[in-house]
A and B are shown apart, each in its own frame.
Chain A
Amino acid sequence: MRVEQIAVFLENKSGRLAEITAILADNDINIRALSVADTADFGILRLIVNDVEKAKNILQDGGFTVGKTDVLAVEVVDKTGGLATVLKCLHSAGINVEYMYAFVNKSGENAVLIFRFEKMDEAIEVLSKNGFTLLSGEQICAL
């Protein structure tokens, strides 16, 4: 139950994010979730989109360095302590989070947490065993 995410290398210079989103929009790519991780010199844009291959190709054609990574999408009820429960469970199983970001779906009932772990398979096992809902790429796009 992995979800494909694309990551784009960004130099910290003005207009780059605007450029990428314009390329995606022009090609009918819908961004479902996004995060930007940045340092003083560069940033990494991470995206969950409705058409991973197409998005990757058009961004590469646009001269960007693009990578594809698997992440996990965990659905939790959007209420206080939702994230804490997931993290507590992972922590007790000794699984470290490389990075994460989150979004709330349209209905506002559930939140979706996007995770990247060093030990992806173990994380899937631990989360499933503890009754958390893992979403597929299609499910995210359908939200």
Chain B
Amino acid sequence: MSVIYWEEEMETLPRVGLESIQLRRLQHLVARVYKTVKPYRRKMDEAGVKPEDIQSLEDLRKLPFTAKEDLRNNYPFGLFTVPMEEVVRVHASSGTTGKPTVVGYTSKDIDTWAGIMARALCCAGATKEDMVQNAYGYGLFTGGLGAHYGIEKLGATVIPVSGGNSKRQINIMKDFRSTVLLSTPSYALNLADAMDSMDIAPTSLSLRVGIFGAEPWSENMREEVEKKLNLKAVDIYGLSEVMGPGVAQECLLADRGMHIFEDHFLPEIIDPDSGEVLPPGEQGELVFTTLTKEAFPIIRYRTKDISRLIYDQCECGRTLVRMEKVTGRTDDMLIIRGVNVFPSQVEHVLMGIEGVEPHYQIVVEREGNLDTMSVQVEVSEGLFSDEIRVLENLTKKIQADVKSLLGVTCKVKLVEPKTIQRSEGKAQRVIDNRKIW
């Protein structure tokens, strides 16, 4: 198989050359952010670091980290570096409480992102000949639109079907002869089941590559999805705070790991407790600094994703470092059907409903191939009623509020007092029975 690159020079640059580009971009970024964004300037001043202190890539570690809380504290646009008239699009993802995390893009950012996404698609073996079915959700979530612009940039045909409605997805797949599928891995398996019930053999379709991401998935799941959909499944990584889909992409040749597009995103692996940068190859928390973004650059963003960087030369010829499949989180964030869910958000909903004491537990299961979330709430005297209707309305309200805030449908189960286990220290708010890591 011949390897296709989108930007061969940048993707195969010797490390010395790459690092000099990274440093130049980093210096430029830090100077700009220091000048234009007050919260960044304040944090750098507190840490006693000036833009001119960045003389090497090593100096990156002098800079303070940025966390999700910084985005919340500056909600919605406080960390943007350009006036709003230059921002042509915003996206948002779940915040840890009621407010989402908002990011913005200039027209040039959208173009840069499309180019990076086109690179990712090439890396996964897609070409302009392909018919690409984009089943990532379109909307505030970066997945749908982020991938969409990349597919167009590549010159392939995009089918902007968005998520859901499996039967329609499969009919489109069959009639349009889709060759590449983009979705969450669990949704891909769901499509396989739907195909089965519609009596459509995957071999009768034209799918050849699946680019799956936005949620963690195991090697077992890869085997299953490859077998059931008769395609080659590759992993894609991204997060809205850094850009969206396309931060890193697995190639068809690597036995493990996704190439990080390092000329745009500078990765570090740190010890999540001490914040110290770990030696190459060690496992720790992934941290990203964007090098080319205009509207919403980010410095040393703590992703809370656990991974490892692999510096070995890849067979595909790309010199870009690879990140191992994410193997865990340093916080309690859950990913349910591609949507980030923090237990604190669920708590926020419950606290907003009169009478509900925050004795709750979130139970996540994988039923068939879809993740389900149920929220168990203890019935206190404040919310109890002798009428079924009142209690049913309560569960419906919790369900609707969770759906509206998080975008995830959950089941709500009312339980008797003291049925949810209390532990000595922190209450166990989440039981995740999926075994996905």
Contacts and interface: CB of A to CB of B under 8 A. Distances in A.
A33 B167 CA distance: 52
Interface string B399-419: 000000000000001111111
Interface residues of B, number: 18
Interface in B370-407: 379-381, 384-389, 391-392
A42 B419 CA distance: 14
A99 B385 CA distance: 13
Contact of A65 (B379, B387, B389): B379
Interface residues of A, number: 20
Main secondary structure of the interface of A (DSSP, over half): strand
Interface in A1-54: 5, 7, 9-11, 37, 39, 41-42, 44, 46
Contacts of A69: 386
Contacts of B379: 9, 42, 65
B388 A66 contact: no
A10 B379 CA distance: 10
Contact of A7 (B386, B418, B419): B386
A11 B416 contact: yes
Most B CB within 10 A of own CB, among A9, A42, A98: A9
A44 B414 CA distance: 12
B384 A67 contact: yes
Most A CB within 10 A of own CB, among B380, B389, B391, B392: B391
B414 A41 contact: yes
A100 B399 CA distance: 29
B386 A63 contact: no
Main secondary structure of the interface of B (DSSP, over half): loop
A67 B385 contact: yes
A11 B381 CA distance: 15
B388 A9 contact: no
B386 A11 contact: no
Contacts of B391: 39, 42, 44
Contacts of B416: 9-11, 63-65
A64 B389 CA distance: 20
Nearest to A118: B387
Nearest to A98: B387
A39 B388 contact: yes
Contacts of B392: 39
B417 A64 contact: yes
Contacts of A98: 387, 389
B388 A46 contact: no
A127 B380 CA distance: 34
Nearest to A37: B388
A116 B387 contact: yes
A10 B417 CA distance: 10
Contact of A44 (B381, B388, B415, B417): B388
A43 to B, nearest CB: 9
A69 B417 CA distance: 20
Nearest to B411: A41
A42 B414 contact: yes
A44 B391 CA distance: 10
Most A CB within 10 A of own CB, among B385, B388, B389, B413: B388
Interface in A101-131: 116
B414 A63 contact: no
B58 to A, nearest CB: 58
A11 B415 contact: yes
A67 B391 CA distance: 13
Contacts of B417: 63-65
Contacts of A46: 386
A65 B419 contact: no
Contacts of B415: 11
A9 B418 CA distance: 13
Nearest to B414: A42
Given A9-B414, A44-B391, A67 B386 contact: yes
Contacts of A66: 381, 384
A82 to B, nearest CB: 24
Nearest to A42: B414
A41 B380 contact: no
Contacts of B414: 9, 11, 41-42
Interface of B: 379-381, 384-389, 391-392, 413-419
Interface of A: 5, 7, 9-11, 37, 39, 41-42, 44, 46, 63-67, 69, 98-99, 116
17 contacts: A7-B385, A9-B414, A11-B416, A41-B413, A44-B385, A44-B386, A44-B388, A63-B416, A63-B417, A64-B416, A65-B380, A65-B417, A66-B381, A67-B386, A98-B389, A99-B388, A116-B387
Q: Give me the 5 closest cross-chain CB pairs, A-B, nearest first.
A: A7-B386, A69-B386, A9-B379, A65-B384, A67-B384
